[in-house]
Amino acid sequence: MGKKRVFELAKELGYTNNRDFIDKLQKLGFEAKSHSSTVDEDDVRRALEREDEQRKANTVEHQVSRNVIRRRRKDDGETTTTPVAPTQTEFGKL
C-alpha cells in the first residue's frame, strides 16, 4: 500500500495518543521519531498482527457463564521470591 505518516496509521488503528503508537512502533523495531515520520503500512500491519497473535497465544479463556468470558495471561512459572534478611534496629537491641 505504500508509506504513510505515523499519525495517519495511529488514527486508522484507533490510537488516541500518537506517542503511545510511536512507542509501540519503536518496540517493534521501526524508526519512528515523531508523528510525521513515514513508515511502510504493510510492514506495520504485519508486525502488529504478529504481536497480537503472540499476545493471544499467552492468554487462557474460561467461560464463566453464558455472557461472561474470563481471560487471563498464562503463568510462566518463573516468579521467584527472594527472602529478605531481618535487620537489627534499636528496638532489637533491648
Is 65 domain-assigned?
yes
Q: Which own/partner contact pairs does 32-37 have at CB distance under 8 Å and 24+ positions apart?
A: 32/6, 34/6, 35/5, 35/6, 35/7, 35/10, 36/5, 36/6, 36/7, 37/5, 37/6
Domain of residue 55: give its range.
3-72
The total number of structural domains that make up the chain: 1
For 13, which DSSP code?
H
Does residue 13 lie in a domain region? yes
Look at residue 81 and tell me whether its pLDDT is greater than 70: no
Which pLDDT tens digit goes with each residue over 26-47? 888 888 888 888 888 888 888 8
The pTM of the full predicted model, rounded to 2 decimals, is 0.52
What pLDDT, in 10s, does the model give residues 66-79?
Answer: 777 777 777 666 65
In a domain, 27, yes or no: yes
pLDDT at position 79, please? 57
Three-state SS for 28? Answer: coil
Q: Is the pLDDT of residue 59 over 60?
A: yes
